[in-house]
Amino acid sequence: MAEYKLDCLHEVCPIPLLKALKSLEKMEIGDILIMHTDHNCSIANVVEWTKKQGHYIDYIEIAEGEWEIYIEKAR
Amino acid sequence: MGLYYKIVKKPWPYWVGGILLALLNISLLLITGSVWGVTTGLLYWGLFIIESLGANPASWYYFNVYSPGFRGGYTLILNPHSVLNIAIIIGALLAVLWANQYKFKKIKNMKQIFFALAGGILMGYGSRLSFGCNIGAYFSAIPSFSLHGWVFGVFIFVGAYIGTRILYKYII
């Protein structure tokens, strides 16, 4: 089970979502992707898209206007 | 999970935003007699800047054939487009301040500057050729039962599809 970090700071839609998509493609089932973002759209569109794809996802606000999104590849 | 978290901090679902935007645009049409648009206001600001630099855009072919809608009595700030644009910025600022999510965004790298500038110029140029952006020529056009909104919509999807493919394959 590997852990991947993805720096999406200062990036806006649709870059964070596309970066997540690209990383998930290379990952194995069970691997974790940790996204670091300050774009509040990401906690809506990345979360919605990942859930639709059937992966596990959760996020926390680590500072004012900054989030870490955790995605576990499920399939 | 308090009400503050649910309403102020958590992003609203897309359908809630959609309904609110529709209701607000209807009220705007009822009260002011015109629909929501964004880029026309930016056009006025751009024209103001190049006019202060000494150019005379009023003599340009484009503005002689297609009126930019700058009516008598409008000033740079006191026209419906500029007021709405400034109000959007103030409203967005209040929303992030209330949610405690205000943050200065830094420039990531040179690549980001290049693509932001290139994208901005392409969008600005395109919005003048199509007489509006995705707000004026799409979002406000469809409820006005104008065919051009649907044409605009179809090509948004074509453009977004091609753009996303290029972005995914070559840029990120």
Q: What is the DSSP string of A28-64?
A: PTT-EEEEEE--TTHHHHHHHHHHHHT-EEEEEEEET
Q: Which of A10, A14, A19 sits opposite B106 (nearest CB)?
A: A10
pLDDT tens string A15-73? 999 999 999 999 999 999 999 999 999 999 999 999 999 999 999 999 999 999 999 99
Asked if the Cβ–Cβ distance from B168 to A22 is below 8 Å, we say yes
> Quick one: which of B134, B34, B137, B139 has its CA closest to B84?
B34
User: In angstroms, what separates the C-alpha of A36 from chain B's closest C-alpha?
Assistant: 14
Question: What distance in Å separates the CA atoms of residue A25 and residue A40, rounded to the nearest whole number?
Answer: 24
Rounded to 5 degrees, what angle do the CA atoms A17, B15, A34 make? 25
Task: Give the residue from A13, A39, A40, A61 with the most B CB atoms within 10 Å of its CB, the best one to mutate.
Answer: A40
DSSP conformational letter for B92: H
What ipTM did this prediction achieve?
0.82
CATH classification of the domain holding A17: 3.30.110.40
- Residue B101's closest chain A neighbor by CA? A65
Tokens of residue B65, six digits: 């054939």
Question: What distance in Å separates the CA atoms of residue B131 and residue B125, rounded to the nearest whole number?
Answer: 10
Q: Are strands A56-63 and A3-7 parallel, antiparallel or unpaired?
A: unpaired
pLDDT (0 to 100) of residue B75: 79
Residue with the two structure tokens 């992030």: B96
Confidence of residue B58 (pLDDT cuts 50, 70, 90): confident
Indicate whether this model's pTM tops 0.80: yes
Containing structural domain, residue A53: 3-73
User: In angstroms, what separates the C-alpha of B14 from chain A's closest C-alpha?
Assistant: 9
Is the per-residue pLDDT at B74 higher than 90?
no
From chain B, pick out residues whose CB is under 8 angstroms from the CB of A21: 168
Question: What distance in Å separates the CA atoms of residue B124 and residue B135, rounded to the nearest whole number?
Answer: 13
Number of domains in chain A: 1
Q: Which of B96, B106, B168 sits opposite A18 (nearest CB)?
A: B168
pLDDT tens string B8-38? 998 899 999 999 999 999 999 999 888 899 9
Interface of A with B (CB under 8 A): 9-11, 14-15, 18-19, 21-22, 38, 40-41, 43-44, 61, 64-66
Question: What distance in Å separates the CA atoms of residue A19 and residue A45, rounded to the nearest whole number?
Answer: 13
